[in-house]
Amino acid sequence: MPERLSVSDSLADGARRLRTAARMLFPLYLANLGVALFALLPLHVSLYRVTSTRPAAGRLLASWDLEILAELVMDHPTLLAQLQAVFLFVPMAYLILSQALLGGALGALARPRRPRARDFGADALGHFFPLLGLLAWYLVPLALAGAALYLGYSVADGRHWMTRSLALVPGLALWAWADAALDFGRAKLVLDDSAAPLRSLLAGFGVTLKRPLAAMGLHLFLGCLGIAPLALLLLIPSALDAGGPGGVLLAFVGRQVVVFLRVSLRLYSLGAHLGFLGGPAQQELPVEPGREAY
């Protein structure tokens, strides 16, 4: 039986696993950036052509202003086809890429040695379909949580704001529980090298029931930590208000910093979930001579 770690020990173990697999960070960041550029660059080029001489360009740099986009689509119908392609392609590309990279990252974090490109690729391919199946099964408790949220909102509609807020608590609790089970299920699937996604998801629910305070506390803390870098996005409009190439460059760098931090914290979260289930990471083993490494 693996050693059961406390929340603090799991967080420390997540840091050790991340340090061992730190060479994955930049390639994973580049993969995220590459998909974003490939998916959105044609649309950005088209938007630049029709907005480069309009005052609305600055607002579009800061955010996707729906009012401006609607006006542009009416004036330039070809933009509508490009927007539809983006909204269809980007989610599918992200889904495929994220599950493949997730399998490789979990496999690398679960190993005691620094990740090798060959092992990362094998884990990415080997765990891809089980992780995709686990995500599909996750839609069942997610739908139940959504139904609970809708029911709570409907029952409390028109009442005091505090009553409406309390009515949403059961649905939010179900969603948080299902999300925790998903992450623990992913860790369990990789640790056991399992091809049974439903069994892994049920095992994830089992973890949250056996140690509810520790498991949910760890997951919620890591979730809050993971969204913290998004606060930096609030500074981007201020950078754009400064005007000139410097403001645009600062906004671009700020977005890339947020993406890199998000990737780093996501790997840290995966490592902490693995440590919570599988015990402390073993001592790093040296990479065999002549082997490819990140």
The confidence band for 285, taking pLDDT boundaries of 50, 70 and 90, is very low
Element (H, E) at 237: helix 236-241
Please state, for a pLDDT cut of 70, what percent of the chain lies above it. 74
Round the average pLDDT of the chain to a whole number and report it.
81
Q: How confident is the model at residue 50 (pLDDT cuts 50, 70, 90)?
A: low
Both tokens of 36, joined, read 């974003």
Q: What is the mean pLDDT of residues 105-123?
A: 87
pLDDT of residue 238: 58
pLDDT band, residue 291 (cuts 50/70/90) = very low
Residue with the larger pLDDT of the pair 290 and 201: 201
Q: How confident is the model at residue 129 (pLDDT cuts 50, 70, 90)?
A: very high
Q: Do 224 and 161 form a contact (C-beta atoms < 8 A)?
A: no
Q: How many CB atoms lie within 10 A of CB 251?
A: 20
Q: What's the whole-number mean pLDDT along residues 124-135? A: 94
Write out pLDDT tens, residues 19-35: 888 888 888 888 877 87
Taken in order 51, 249, 25, 223, the sign of the CA dihedral is negative
Hey, is 233 helix, strand or coil? helix
Question: If pLDDT is split at 50, 70 and 90, which confidence band does 232 have?
Answer: confident
Q: What is the DSSP letter of 245?
A: H
Query: For residues 137 and 201, what is the distance between their CA atoms, to the nearest angstrom?
Result: 8
Q: What is the pLDDT of residues 1-16, one digit of tens each?
A: 455 678 999 999 999 9
pTM score, two decimals?
0.79
Whether residue 175 has pLDDT greater than 90? yes
Count Cβ atoms below 10 Å from residue 225 Cβ, excluding itself.
15
Q: Residue 34 and residue 37: Cα distance in Å, rounded?
A: 5
- More confident call, 200 vs 282: 200
